Amino acid sequence: MKILFVADVFGAPGRRAIETRLPSLREELGADFCIVNGENAAAGRGITAKLADKFLASGADVITLGNWTWGQKEFAPYLSGTDRVLRPANLSPRTPGIGIAVHDGVAVINLLGVFSLDPFESPFVAVDRLVDEARAKTNVIVVDFHAEATSEKVAMARYLDGRVTAVLGTHTHVQTSDARVLKGGTAAITDAGMTGPHDSVIGSDEHNAIQRFLTGMPNRLEPATGEVRIEGALVECGPDGRATSCTAVRVDVEA
């Protein structure tokens, strides 16, 4: 089985890349299953019901989120009625939505890191029961670990090595060069990157971002527009759920 993971979709440029390029990209890569992180789809802050439906119609089987899950205030009710869009499983159990789902023989787990993101529960505590739940239904398990610290993401991959198919890091928007398969058969990449405008400061227009650093004053960040590409990872595994390859994906898309 080939699983395509598409990293953080950022703003309108990232959305257009998904809608115009994802269907053909799935075919070109021979992907049997596709996970899209939609964390920043709505102008960099969360996602809307309309956008989620468009991503699913464009070829995403499951959409994962992150620290901007509640970035769009009217999105919460949508999460209560779907198992195709996941919020981090280690948010409060009293919030809408779920953080694990199984579709077409693939379990997807969404987790939020501790450093600077302050989840309700430690992902290292939550993940054991989530993996047990997933393994009762399938051998193929993919974890989207939305975290700030590289050390935390590397530690999670090693902690789960041999127990899940892949641990794919998201959140920092800069693709790392460490796509690999660990000794136990778990595919890993510390950060799968960003789908959106790369002529930017991690997706945002550089002028406003730089002004923040120069002045320390808050200002509204707007999505940039140039150098759009899809980034992510392609993981191949056998029926036993052990990964046989993990390759970074970088595909230029016309803006």
In the predicted model, what is the mean pLDDT of residues 175-193?
98
Q: Which two tokens stand for residue 164?
A: 């899940």
Instruction: Map residue 158 onto helix, strand or coil.
Output: helix
Examine the pLDDT at 126 and tell me if it is beyond 90. yes
pLDDT 10s digits, 45-92: 999 999 999 999 999 999 999 999 999 989 999 999 999 999 999 999
Class of residue 183 by CB neighbours under 10 A (exposed 0-12, middle 13-18, buried 19+): exposed
How far apart CA 50 and CA 53 sit, in angstroms, is 5
Q: Model confidence at 121, in pLDDT bands (50, 70, 90)? A: very high
Is the Cβ–Cβ distance between 237 and 140 less than 8 Å? yes
CA 239 to each of CA 2, 3, 35, 148, 157: distance values in angstroms, whole numbers, following the listed order: 11, 13, 18, 32, 20
Q: Which of 84-93, 155-164, 216-225 has the lowest mean pLDDT?
A: 216-225
* Percent of the chain residues topping a pLDDT of 90: 90
Q: Which of 33-37, 91-95, 102-106, 251-255 has the lowest mean pLDDT?
A: 251-255
Place of tokens 């996941």: 86
Tell me which H or E stretch contains 245. strand 243-252
Examine the pLDDT at 233 and tell me if it is beyond 90. yes
Domain boundaries of the chain, sorted by first residue:
2-252
Q: Model confidence at 255, in pLDDT bands (50, 70, 90)? A: low
Instruction: Map residue 103 onto helix, strand or coil.
Output: strand
How far apart CA 148 and CA 158 sit, in angstroms, is 17
How far apart CA 85 and CA 101 sit, in angstroms, is 9
Rounded to 10 degrees, the C-alpha dihedral 7/10/14/19 comes to: 80
Residue 208 pLDDT:
87
Statement: 2-252 belongs to CATH 1.25.40.340: no
Return mean pLDDT, the chain: 96
